């Protein structure tokens, strides 16, 4: 992972609130998923998918989204109109989910602090691959959600 300069004029609470609002509203709208916010919990890393997105510009950050496998399959199923997607298409659906959620959050952040920021295309990490230590040095907020079928954990390093 390339190093980035984090930082913004937002507080942890503001970043948390903006990303929370984005994840909850977008997950409901496009994936029919009700996210229940909980304090940080266990996510079995051998049974989850991890995608990451960088934001660059006025608000620099790394957003890491860990999704348990049942939630992953559910998101794809709903976004594909209630039918299973091919293996080739699965990542495209999840990428779009992360793109829309993070774009929604980033738009609110940009409107709040001014200036413009951009998202990179989401990248998925292979099982066992982790985020580099250099990317963990900035401030971070963690959002942990439970659903009826699994969990999502979002880490925003900024």
Partner 1 sequence: MDKTTILVVDDSPFASKQIKDIVEENGYEVIGYAKNGEEGIKMYEELRPDMVVLDIIMPGIDGLETAQILKEKDPDVTILMLSSLCDSGTLEEVRAIGVKYLIPKPWEDDVLLATLELLRKHREEHLAGADKKED
Binding residues for partner 1, per CB under 8 A?
26, 29-30, 79-81, 85, 89, 92-93, 95-96, 99-104, 106-108, 110-111, 114-116, 118-119, 121
Q: What is the DSSP letter of 81?
A: T
DSSP reduced 3-state for 97: helix
* Residue closer to partner 1, measured from CB, 43 or 103: 103
* Residue closer to partner 1, measured from CB, 107 or 140: 107
Q: Least distance in Å: CB of 61 to partner 1? A: 14
Residues composing the chain? 158
* Residue closer to partner 1, measured from CB, 26 or 143: 26
DSSP reduced 3-state for 98: helix
Q: Least distance in Å: CB of 96 to partner 1? A: 4
Q: Least distance in Å: CB of 151 to partner 1? A: 22
Q: Least distance in Å: CB of 133 to partner 1? A: 28
Nearest to 111 by CA among 20, 18, 34: 18
Contact 70, 125 (CB under 8 A): no
Both tokens of residue 85? 């997607």
Q: Least distance in Å: CB of 111 to partner 1? A: 5
Nearest-angstrom CA–CA distance, 63 and 99: 11
* Residue closer to partner 1, measured from CB, 2 or 39: 2
Nearest-angstrom CA–CA distance, 83 and 74: 10
* Residue closer to partner 1, measured from CB, 64 or 98: 98
């Amino acid at each position: 992972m390339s190093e980035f300069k984090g930082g913004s004029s937002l507080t942890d609470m503001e970043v948390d609130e903006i990303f929370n609002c984005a994840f909850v509203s977008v997950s409901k709208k496009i994936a029919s998923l009700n996210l229940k916010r909980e304090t940080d919990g266990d996510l079995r890393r051998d049974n989850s998918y991890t995608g990451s997105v960088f934001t660059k510009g006025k608000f620099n950050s790394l957003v890491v989204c860990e999704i348990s496998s049942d939630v992953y399959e559910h998101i794809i199923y709903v976004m594909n109109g209630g039918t299973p997607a091919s293996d080739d298409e699965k990542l495209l659906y999840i990428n779009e989910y992360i793109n829309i959620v993070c774009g929604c959050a980033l738009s609110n952040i940009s409107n709040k602090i001014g200036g413009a920021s951009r998202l990179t295309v989401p990248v998925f990490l292979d099982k066992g691959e982790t985020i580099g230590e250099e990317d963990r040095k900035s401030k971070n907020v963690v959002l942990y959600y439970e659903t009826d079928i699994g969990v999502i954990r979002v880490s925003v390093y900024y």
